[in-house]
Amino acid sequence: MKRIIQFRIYKGEKYFVAECIDLPIVTQGKTLDEVVENIREAITLHLEDESLEELEISPDFTVLVNLELEPYAKA
């Protein structure tokens, strides 16, 4: 069973975008705080009527978020 649900956050054209690696979830927010809150809400809504056992997700899962930085440019 999975104990970790992974997301990757990157800067889109206007918003931060969060894509889940393990579930079909995508959300966005104007700020990092907003996108994190939207991740919580999206997971809750996605798993609302699902069986965690059937999805092979542990009931005490955690969320791991990776933040992609824009390419490094030397000055």
CA–CA dist 10, 52 (Å, integer): 27
- 13: amino acid identity, one letter: E
What count of other Cβ atoms lies within 10 Å of the Cβ of residue 69? 7
List the chain domain ranges.
2-67
CATH architecture of 2-67: 2-Layer Sandwich (3.30)
Contact 25, 8 (CB under 8 A): no
Per-residue pLDDT of the chain (75 residues; tens, 9 = 90+): 889 999 999 999 999 999 999 999 999 999 999 999 999 999 999 999 999 999 999 999 999 999 998 877 776
